[in-house]
A and B are shown apart, each in its own frame.
Chain A
Amino acid sequence: MGSVTFDVLTTAAILFVVSTGLMVILGVMKLLNFAHGAFLTTGGYVAYMAGLAGVSPWLSIPLASILGFLFGLVVERIVIRPLYQRPLDAILATWGLGIVISQVFALTFGRGVQFAPSPLSGTVDFLGVEYSAYRLAIAAIAILLAFALIGLLSLTRFGLNARAVIVNEDLARGLGIDSTKVRSLTFGLGAGLACAAGALITPLLSVDPNMGLPWLVNSFMLVLVSGVSFPSLLFASLVLGGTQVLVSTYVSPILGGMTIVVLAALILRLNPKGFSRA
């Protein structure tokens, strides 16, 4: 029983970490980034290569976020910016980008599965339960990340500008905010977060050219259900991720695999606003 509780909490944490990058981009740019899965994969390969190079696994996470940020800036300039007026086309273009990225990895590293070293191995005794140390660490990181992102949005000038663009882009522009720059930085931030998340979860799993794909749809669903708000994303991860763990544990793992998708689709059908301001 105790370990199921931890499963629920750590799964929610992983889902939250994996979805933040997507939410940042959706919130500011109103763009659903289909390359999100490929960005996760990129983070995974960064962790793998860092491991090969003998870099500390802890360092691979910030390294992935920096590379992701720079990569995001380039992608925004070349692919995303021409498509601001065509949101459905932007979705398709990011999907095509995802294909390109995963094929580049397939060409470089082959189709096979690679492993990245874990910064923490083994289990620890926490509140009377033996549990994976690294999963607990991810939960802690998720909480820190939530605070850091809320802090970034509510305490910094960039956060203020971003919030202004989210709510009313025209008014923000009229006050001297360069919304193009805000969008560009946001895409970089979203890509950076996604890469970091990929590096973070890779030690739990493994990395292959399509590693990010299974996460893609689940994070879409979580983000659509939670609207643009980190607390509500945390809540959605907990509710939907928790249900997924319970269904997988007590009913069937395969049904568990589709829990988030089905639940989120029904929630959105009944209340198109989802959990936002619920």
Chain B
Amino acid sequence: MNDAILSVRDLNSGYGSASVLRNISLDIKKGEILTILGKNGMGKSTLLNTLMGFVSPFSGKVMLNDKDVTDIKPHLMARSGVAHTPQENTLFPDLTVEDNLRLGVTSDRLFQQRISTIETIFPRIIERLKQRAGTLSGGEQKMLLMSRGLVAQPQLMFIDEVSEGLQPAMVDRMAEVLIRARDELGISVLLVEQNLDFALSVANRFMILKLGEFIEQGVVDDRTSAEHLSAHLAI
């Protein structure tokens, strides 16, 4: 037994003959935000897709609450308490905001119970329940995305570049929400990011992914040098 919710050991993954991830190991503890930093094309999304079961790993092991979930079916991963917010094609643009939220939970009864928690976090989303999701502004869409993850009341969230394309004020709002989710609801988060300031403002630990391998990791504290890390992230 260890106290990790999710633990990954020696994961190798990719598409067909292309190897994208090499020997990836990581642990996420309960109530912890772990951020994975890296530029585009370094394998961040592939990592989340492999953990969710969309991509079959070549080798390695993924454990969720000490249960082997390597190469699991995605819907079973979601039902085991993992909420995945992918980076692209994240919403159903032709469905209403309400329908998009309903899809976050498996039954409509649960949805009715939990919708009130969203109201306190993103009142703007509740105001727009009947609108089509595609007509929301970029910032509102990100709020909807986070809301959909939160109504699932997951124990673990995979969040793929949620700060991309957001105004600074919105980014701060997202940071606040993530910290609340961790501290008040005990949700653990695997946060994939390129925005260093945002990631460091919420995360407990960081890992840097370059060309499919972790090249550096550590605890986020006062001594964490943003200057030094940004060298890996500058365009």
Contact = CB atoms under 8 A, between A and B. Distances in A.
Interface of A: 157, 160-161, 163-164, 167-168, 170-179
B103 A174 contact: no
A174 B86 contact: yes
A176 B78 contact: yes
B27 interface: no
- Categorize the interface residue count of chain B: 20 to 34
Contacts of B84: 174-175
Leading 9 A-B pairs by shortest Cβ distance: A176-B78, A173-B74, A174-B84, A176-B79, A173-B75, A178-B75, A176-B75, A175-B103, A174-B74
Nearest to B148: A175
Interface string B75-91: 10011000010100110
A160 B52 CA distance: 22
B103 A160 contact: yes
B95 to A, nearest CB: 7
Contact of A167 (B75, B78, B94): B94
A177 to B, nearest CB: 6
Given A157-B108, A163-B92, A163-B95, A177 B73 contact: no
The CB with the most chain A CB atoms within 10 A, among B54, B103, B152, is that of: B103
A168 B94 CA distance: 11
A176 B73 CA distance: 9
Given A167-B92, A174-B75, A175-B84, 18 more contacts: A157-B107, A160-B102, A163-B92, A163-B95, A164-B95, A167-B94, A167-B95, A170-B74, A171-B86, A172-B103, A173-B73, A173-B78, A174-B54, A175-B75, A176-B75, A176-B78, A176-B152, A179-B75
A161 B107 CA distance: 11
Grouping DSSP codes into helix (H, G, I), strand (E, B) and loop, the A interface class, with mixed when no group exceeds half, is: helix
Given A168-B89, A168-B92, A160 B99 contact: yes
B10 to A, nearest CB: 24
Q: Which of B75, B84, B89, B102 has the most CB of A within 10 A?
A: B75
A173 B95 CA distance: 17
B104 interface: yes
B59 interface: no
Q: B interface, by DSSP: helix, strand, loop or mixed?
A: loop
A86 B95 CA distance: 30
B106 interface: yes
A172 B152 CA distance: 14
B78 A170 contact: no
Contact of B104 (A157, A175, A179): A175
A171 B90 contact: yes
Nearest to B104: A175
B52 A174 contact: yes
Contacts of B148: 175
A170 to B, nearest CB: 6
Contacts of B102: 157, 160
Contacts of B79: 176
Contacts of A157: 102, 107-108
Contacts of B92: 163-164, 167-168, 171
Contacts of B90: 171
Contacts of A173: 54, 73-75, 78
Contacts of B52: 174
A171 to B, nearest CB: 6
B75 A177 contact: yes
Contacts of A174: 52, 54, 74-75, 78, 84, 86
Contact of A175 (B73, B78, B108): B78
B48 to A, nearest CB: 10
